[in-house]
Amino acid sequence: MTAVLGSGARWLLAQAIEAEAEVFLAPMKGLPLPDGRERLMQHGHGLERQVQTGVGPVGVRRVKLRDRSPG
């Protein structure tokens, strides 16, 4: 039962992290660089880290965001 709860917690945390990244990027979607590329972009995921939950530690991976603007 703990394994099922842990996998559910992992899924919920992953969805929350992805949603937070989308909310952060949304206002900046229309800010292109002079060459036409998007300024901010999602650039994969970071290493898995343990987050303490009520069902024990759960491994999650954070979203990596990249700002292409100079300086």
Spatial CA neighbour of 52 closest among 1, 6, 4, 3: 6
Q: Tokens 């060459």 sit at which residue? A: 35
Largest pairwise CA distance in the chain: 53
Global confidence as pTM:
0.58
Q: What pLDDT band is residue 68 in, cutting at 50, 70 and 90?
A: confident
pLDDT digit string (tens) for 34-57? 888 888 877 788 888 888 877 778
pLDDT digit string (tens) for 2-29? 677 777 777 888 788 778 878 887 887 7
Residue 71 has pLDDT above 70, yes or no: no
Our measurement of the distance from residue 45's CA atom to the centroid of its chain's CA atoms, rounded to an integer in Å, reads 7
Q: Tokens 């002079």 sit at which residue? A: 34
| Domain positions in the chain | 2-67
